[in-house]
A and B are shown apart, each in its own frame.
Chain A
Amino acid sequence: MKPAHTITGLITDLTISLVLAIIPLSLLHPELMLSANLPTGGDMASQIFGAKIFVTDIFPQGKLSAWLPEVFGGFPFLSYYFPLPFITMALLAKLLSFAVAFKVTAMLGIIVLPAIVYGVGRFLGFHRLSALAGSLGALCFMLHEQHSIWGGNLLSTLAGEFAYSYGMVFSVITLAVWSRGIKDGRYWVLGGCLEVLVGMSHGYALLVTGFTTTAFLFQTGRFKANFLYLVRTHSLAVLLLGFWLWPLIETGPYITPNDSPYLLNNWQDILPMTVRPVLIAGLLAIFITPLIPNVRRGWTTDRIDHALLFLFGGVIALVGWFASERIGLADIRFFPYAWLMGCVVSGWFFGNLLERLIITLPARGLAGIGLLFLTLGFLSLEVRQAPHWTLWNHSGLESKVMWPTLEQLFPKLKGDLNSPRLVFEHDPDNNDLGSTRVLETLPMFLGGRPVLEGLYMESAPLGPVIYQLQSEISARPSSPLSQFPSGSLDPVRAALHMAVLNTQDILVRSDNAKKELTKSGLYEIIGGSPPFEIYRLKDFSNSYVTPINGPVSVTGRQNWKEKSFAWFQKLKSPDDPPLAFLTPQQTQERQGLAWPEPTGIERIQAVSGVTIERERIRFTTSAIGVPHLIRFGFNPRWQSKNGETIYLVSPGYMMVVPAHREVELFYGSTKVMRWGKIASVLALFFILGYGLFFVLQRRGQHLIEETHRSNSRFSRRWWLIRLTAIPLLLMACGGLYFQSPKRVYQRGHQYFRSQKYEEAARYFDQAFAGRHVKAQKEEALFWAARSLDLDDQKEEAAQRYRLLTEEYHAYWVPESLYRLAMIDESLDRPDQVAVGLDRLRQEFPRNRWTMLAEQIHGR
């Protein structure tokens, strides 16, 4: 190849890449991205708070994660979420203002994805037309508007899932590097490094990318070589990621999994409009390819291998989608990879078809332009919401209708880290602030005063109880944690729970909530700016650290979140002693000994000088040896300077038994974390050494251009063997689907809606048996009971209601108690009716089912 041609080719490729980057950029209102307004929309509004702290505080200290006490009663920020976009943001913020750096970073993955897919296609040896078609396939995926929370597309990114788009970009690059390097053992270090970037971008990207590499083990006659290659590259990645991944795995049990299954509404859910023509074109090309010799010849074995690897990635994503319910992961996070990979491979096949049918270079150029224009024409008809979403997001928080109104309240709400927490009503109307999640970013405007809700609910040990409280002060609560369904408006319970969560003020918006709060008499209005009002709890004392009043019950750490949630719901007084969840080692150390209780005076005056910093809590106490409740979320990284053990207690707080008057707790490192850091440093040294060795070895040698390029051509046998692997995997997916509890549950509801209650009950029973998450089991059990109830099989129904009320504790319990009482009454079992009603009155006094039961019983 002559150098002139190389330069021309490079310029052509760069031009195409630039055009491919300009297309998504043109949708993003770049002029607004460069404005100083803070972005909003969906989760984005909440992301800005964590990002701001990361850019101004965490990253400058050389750290990639930190304790964030301003939200969720404290939680480990970026220990369970993905730091790469935030690192990018922090670096960009050195050149640009924070708002601009944030917007550019958030959109970067979307802007570059089509161009990256094009580059990957070229890197893998595809002709420009094929590479372009692949990237246009990716563009079509990226601009679909079927979903806005699944990840990967523009709408999802605008909704705040920018880390996901980073994961996709690095996943595609990493797979390409491995696919090309594995044949002769090259690029394994680069592949390992790229896998680190995948992992630091998004967990699901890491899962899909990692499992996709198993495809290499099936390459004929290369099992051992490929296996060793994968061991090397994955090991390097695991070591490099040690500083972040190892502690994540160690402290994983403190996460609340986000595993609520998505119930499909219709087939369009899985085949968005913009994806359909791409897949159809790809399928057509796949079937036409073997029939036309010239087209067939375009597929070298290398290209087939690359395409099959990406296709395998898509199938892995499908397997993840179907298996997620069984393994406790979010199914919707897998599916976008099936779309992306399917679209890219379809593009490659269709591009090859065009390339082989159109034989001259200018004609191919024209065909490429034609393909680009047709895609743009199609997309401009289908892309409806994205331009408006970007305008909404990038015009900024400051431009929204209610923002000035809310700002007027800031002086009233201001405080610092030591101030009592603020809780706000969840109200969909808050979208006029830019997003319903804008209030989660309030600490940024309130001098660091903590609020209860935040964004990373899965990372927060106090998440379930915080959403329970939110539901008690909200007319339209959000209840986002499927495992811990929350309740309904109940200002009396809310007052109790606010005291437990050291929360003094409520920011309310809805008339209904205002009415109920006023009616309760427990709150006073301290300010307002219509439609917002601030309600303050009347009987409140700010106490982040208190001696525990009463004997602390001890139990094992298993299911501590469920036990905590149940404890929180059954609280009688804010001073109720918590449950302590001990590890086996702690249990052994305690040897059944009880902790002493504080004396009367100690309860009131023991603790003084409480100082809260981001990763440090200090206080002085006179109640030495008495358990103290630290009203911040527990994490194993918290340690005491004096060496006291820090216990996990309900509802997710820390407890310490001071051995000295002065107590200082700090957010440090665990042993695994320290080992992880050592592993990362060693791996970095290895890479440096390897790089040096590589350079020295190659010095003086002629740079040899790529010599390994298998040009072995297409053979029908090769084609058929490889293509049959994909349907087999798809059949496996089908098998998983038909066995899926999600599908069974959906079928149950179909029968239920058709009033075929007996069949419905059978499906719900099956779903109950197949599901693993407790709240989901409870849901299936309820509907099985309800179906049997409606089918007049009262005893069978009562059996299930009883099981539910005895073994479960979440959303369906009050209704089950009520329905069980009704069945017991119909079967003339007055004692059991009384037991059920008593429980309703005691545990759910203001629940609508209790009120209904009172009405009927009274009548």
Chain B
Amino acid sequence: MRTRIFPAIRISVAVMWLLLPASGFAGTLDFKIVPAGETLIRVEQAGNDTAYRATIYSLTAGWNWLQLSPSGASRNNISPVWPPGIRHHYVLPDADKNQRPLLIVFHDKSGITFSKLIRLTGTDPAWPDGLQAKRRDSGDLVVSGSLPTFPSGLRYGLLQPVDSALAALKTTFTANRPPIAPLLVTTGATTLKTKPMNNLWFYCEWQNATNQEKSELQWATLFFPGTKESIMGGIPYWLSPRIWFSLGGASLAAALAITIMTLLKNRPAHPSSPMTERNG
């Protein structure tokens, strides 16, 4: 058994290594889920250290996909292609007028400022009606006001400086009451660079946040698709398709290898061989 299994493992490892670098595979396939539909909005983040952009694609059947393309490695040359094997997409529950998603980008610990609110239906980077933007002395961009077309519950203090915005979020994300509107929360580029990719979404890192606050913010994931399974693919999400294929291919290769070796070992002597003649 030992002699059969170990060569098989070697073969399977070799197959896996052959398959694994076939990257772009998962990434390329990932992209077919986002049809080349109408781009409803594109937000370019102009901050020096923030290198990603948000694009919302319309999809048939009333679903929209928001795809964020972080590309920390090439901040001035923003690439829509994800790092291989990682897919980031986000399904908005419904793309009608009353469900405009908000993308709030909080500054990270370094204090770089950038906050912006986007509307699904607008392509104009200007602020939506009813909102005022003001840059504070500290450099924070403060957005205040309300959107008349939003559900009333959304009107309080959105996009105020990070602390108050988080406070507003905190009151919203009570235990049984996840957020009342599609609201995306993410962090700035520094956080992106320092945190694992799968924590990008809804990862709110803020100064002086208590564990309780963090646990309350976990409810955001209840509302928004786009946590682990979106990042890592469909099912089961703890491994990427590429890994599954590699492991599967390797296992099958190993099985075949064992079979071939067993057959070779147990190959009957040729009828005309001296051994056969002797036994005969």
Binds B, one of A226-234, A390-398, A664-672, A702-710: A390-398
Q: Separation in Å of the A38 CB from the closest CB of chain B?
A: 11
Asked whether A384 lies within 8 Å of B152 as measured between CB atoms, the reply is no
What residues of A have a CB within 8 angstroms of the CB of B253 in the complex?
370
- Contact A374 to B252, CB < 8 A, known contacts A387-B230, A399-B177: yes
Asked whether B259 lies within 8 Å of A363 as measured between CB atoms, the reply is yes
Instruction: Determine whether A106 belongs to the interface, using a CB cutoff of 8 Å to chain B.
Output: no
Instruction: Determine whether A383 belongs to the interface, using a CB cutoff of 8 Å to chain B.
Output: yes
Binds B, one of A353-361, A445-453, A581-589, A776-784: A353-361
Asked whether B62 lies within 8 Å of A370 as measured between CB atoms, the reply is no
Within 8 A of A (CB), among B161-195: 176-182
Asked whether B248 lies within 8 Å of A374 as measured between CB atoms, the reply is yes
Instruction: Determine whether A405 belongs to the interface, using a CB cutoff of 8 Å to chain B.
Output: yes
Within 8 A of A (CB), among B233-275: 233-237, 240-245, 247-256, 258-259, 262-263
Instruction: Determine whether A612 belongs to the interface, using a CB cutoff of 8 Å to chain B.
Output: no
CA distance A366 to B253 in the complex (A): 9
- Contact A143 to B259, CB < 8 A, known contacts A405-B151, A405-B152: no
What residues of B have a CB within 8 angstroms of the CB of A323 in the complex?
none
Asked whether B244 lies within 8 Å of A531 as measured between CB atoms, the reply is no
Asked whether B255 lies within 8 Å of A358 as measured between CB atoms, the reply is yes
Instruction: Determine whether A566 belongs to the interface, using a CB cutoff of 8 Å to chain B.
Output: no
Instruction: Determine whether A431 belongs to the interface, using a CB cutoff of 8 Å to chain B.
Output: yes
Q: Separation in Å of the A663 CB from the closest CB of chain B?
A: 46
- The 5 A-B pairs at the shortest CB distance, nearest first, are namely A373-B248, A377-B244, A370-B251, A374-B248, A370-B252
CA distance A606 to B190 in the complex (A): 79
Q: Separation in Å of the A75 CB from the closest CB of chain B?
A: 30
Binds A, one of B40-48, B50-58, B90-98, B124-132: B90-98
CA distance A26 to B233 in the complex (A): 12
Q: Separation in Å of the A666 CB from the closest CB of chain B?
A: 40
What residues of A have a CB within 8 angstroms of the CB of B244 in the complex?
373-374, 376-377, 380
Write the chain A residue with the least CB distance to B222. Answer: A395
Write the chain B residue with the least CB distance to A376. Answer: B244
Instruction: Determine whether A590 belongs to the interface, using a CB cutoff of 8 Å to chain B.
Output: no
Given contacts A36-B176, A359-B259, A428-B96, 6 further A-B contacts (CB under 8 A): A27-B234, A27-B236, A367-B255, A404-B151, A404-B153, A530-B151
Asked whether B177 lies within 8 Å of A364 as measured between CB atoms, the reply is no
What residues of B have a CB within 8 angstroms of the CB of A373 in the complex?
244-245, 247-248, 251
Q: Give B contacts to A, CB under 8 Å.
A: 1, 4-5, 8, 26, 29, 33, 62-63, 91, 93-94, 96, 98-99, 151-153, 176-182, 219, 222-225, 229-230, 233-237, 240-245, 247-256, 258-259, 262-263
Instruction: Determine whether A429 belongs to the interface, using a CB cutoff of 8 Å to chain B.
Output: yes
What residues of B have a CB within 8 angstroms of the CB of A396 in the complex?
222
Asked whether A374 lies within 8 Å of B258 as measured between CB atoms, the reply is no
Number of interface residues of A (CB under 8 A): 58
What residues of A have a CB within 8 angstroms of the CB of B222 in the complex?
32, 35, 391, 395-396, 399
Instruction: Determine whether A432 belongs to the interface, using a CB cutoff of 8 Å to chain B.
Output: yes
Asked whether A143 lies within 8 Å of B235 as measured between CB atoms, the reply is yes
- Looking at chain A's contact residues, the main secondary structure is helix
Asked whether B258 lies within 8 Å of A387 as measured between CB atoms, the reply is no
Scoring B225, B234, B242 by chain A CB atoms within 10 A of each residue's CB, the highest score goes to B234
CA distance A26 to B244 in the complex (A): 15
What residues of B have a CB within 8 angstroms of the CB of A376 in the complex?
235-236, 244, 248
CA distance A380 to B242 in the complex (A): 10
What residues of A have a CB within 8 angstroms of the CB of B225 in the complex?
387-388, 391-392
Instruction: Determine whether A283 belongs to the interface, using a CB cutoff of 8 Å to chain B.
Output: no
Q: Separation in Å of the B85 CB from the closest CB of chain A?
A: 11
Q: Separation in Å of the B203 CB from the closest CB of chain A?
A: 17
What residues of B have a CB within 8 angstroms of the CB of A357 in the complex?
259
Write the chain A residue with the least CB distance to B182. Answer: A401
CA distance A372 to B225 in the complex (A): 26
What residues of A have a CB within 8 angstroms of the CB of B251 in the complex?
366-367, 369-370, 373
Asked whether B249 lies within 8 Å of A370 as measured between CB atoms, the reply is yes
Scoring A373, A383, A385 by chain B CB atoms within 10 A of each residue's CB, the highest score goes to A373
CA distance A385 to B59 in the complex (A): 12
What residues of B have a CB within 8 angstroms of the CB of A387 in the complex?
225, 229-230, 234-235, 237
Asked whether B223 lies within 8 Å of A395 as measured between CB atoms, the reply is yes
CA distance A358 to B182 in the complex (A): 52
- Contact A401 to B230, CB < 8 A, known contacts A363-B259, A371-B248, A377-B241: no
CA distance A23 to B177 in the complex (A): 29
What residues of B have a CB within 8 angstroms of the CB of A363 in the complex?
8, 254-256, 258-259, 262
Q: Separation in Å of the B87 CB from the closest CB of chain A?
A: 10
Instruction: Determine whether A773 belongs to the interface, using a CB cutoff of 8 Å to chain B.
Output: no
Asked whether A392 lies within 8 Å of B235 as measured between CB atoms, the reply is no
- Contact A360 to B262, CB < 8 A, known contacts A380-B241, A381-B233, A401-B93: yes
CA distance A577 to B250 in the complex (A): 77
Asked whether A401 lies within 8 Å of B235 as measured between CB atoms, the reply is no
Write the chain B residue with the least CB distance to A369. Answer: B251
Instruction: Determine whether A37 belongs to the interface, using a CB cutoff of 8 Å to chain B.
Output: yes
CA distance A402 to B154 in the complex (A): 11
Q: Separation in Å of the B223 CB from the closest CB of chain A?
A: 5
Write the chain A residue with the least CB distance to B32. Answer: A381
Instruction: Determine whether A379 belongs to the interface, using a CB cutoff of 8 Å to chain B.
Output: yes
